[in-house]
Amino acid sequence: MRIRVINPNTTQSMTDLVEAAARNVAGPDVTIEAVTSGCGPASIEGHYDDAMACIGLLEEIRKGEQDGVDAYVIACFGDPGLDAARELARGPVLGIAEAAMRAATFVATGFSVVTTLSRTVVIAEHLVTRYGVHGHCRAVRATDIAVLDLENPESCAYQKILDECRRALAEDRCGAIVLGCAGMADLCERLSKELGVPVIDGVSAAVVMAEALVRMGLNTSKHGDYARPLPKSYQGILAPFAPRE
């Protein structure tokens, strides 16, 4: 089974981190193919970045369909382009925010999300509404660490995230923590041990769930709105992305 894990930002070091997390949970017969978007923002931390990242992401889905990939993971907590990706793909496509939030509901009645910059909080809150988990999500908390600073030891990212998780557990009545960025995947195990509660990394959750769906023989429905995009002409710089027969 081939699962393509797409980092929709253009930072290769983040793809490497995500790839390691994905390989760590994948079953023995699963090949993880981690790819970095070929165009777009270096990190995704706002609505504009989110929108601009979709083209590169969808291009990777298009290539994956030509290559016969079985399932995809979109490794960014805004789940950019998720519905559009599902229109293009035959197999399942999982976003890490959706996978992490749903995983959290199996192990706690309430979870809090601990994410990067404050400006990304609304994006996660919109996803909570979209996925219908507002009855489970107690809070979305920012650490004010920029995505690319997660890799910078001088940002003290681990300590800031640990402190925010502790505040969430003390103040939010949550039993689990959802990590609000793919770049936090490498911190998950350590945080979980130190906090003594389930800490959910969306990359791991999405890989395991994608694998389960493929094993169940479930593909993305092509009946209705996830049917292939209708062929038509696109103008200007988007002309090459026009859907074809």
Residues that bind ligand 2AL (CB under 6 A): 9, 43-45, 76-78, 115-116, 120, 147, 180-183
To the nearest whole angstrom, how small is the minimum distance from the Cβ of residue 184 to ligand 2AL?
8
Helices marked H in the chain: 12-25, 47-67, 82-88, 96-107, 121-130, 157-171, 188-195, 202-215
**H or E element, residue 184:** none
Q: Which residue has the tokens 């995505």?
A: 147
Of 40 and 92, CB closest to ligand 2AL:
40
Q: How far is the CB of 19 from ligand 2AL (least distance, A)?
A: 14
Please state, as a whole number, how many other Cβ atoms lie within 10 Å of the Cβ of residue 153: 8
Q: For residues 26 and 44, which CB has a smaller minimum distance to ligand 2AL in the complex?
A: 44
Least distance to ligand 2AL, CB of residue 50, Å: 9
Are the beta carbons of 73 and 207 closer than 8 angstroms?
yes
Which helix (H) or strand (E) segment holds residue 137: the answer is strand 137-142
CA distance 76 to 41: 12
Q: How far is CA 199 from the centre of its chain?
A: 15
* Beta strand 2-7 pairing with 31-36: parallel
Taking the complex as a whole, the smallest distance from the CB of residue 4 to ligand 2AL amounts, in Å, to: 17
Task: Give the pair of three-digit tokens for residue 82.
Answer: 């998720």
Nearest to ligand 2AL of 150, 162 (CB atom): 150
CB of 120 to ligand 2AL, least distance (A): 4
43, 37 contact by CB (below 8 A): no
**In the complex, what is the shortest distance from the CB of residue 93 to ligand 2AL, in angstroms, rounded to a whole number?**
16
Closest distance to ligand 2AL from the beta carbon of 63 (Å): 20
Phi, psi (deg, nearest 5) at residue 88: -80, -30
Nearer to ligand 2AL, 1 or 51 (CB): 51
For ligand 2AL, give the closer residue by CB, 204 or 214: 204
Nearer to ligand 2AL, 15 or 220 (CB): 15
Residue 29 three-state SS: coil
Q: Name which of 26 and 206 has its Cβ closer to ligand 2AL.
A: 206
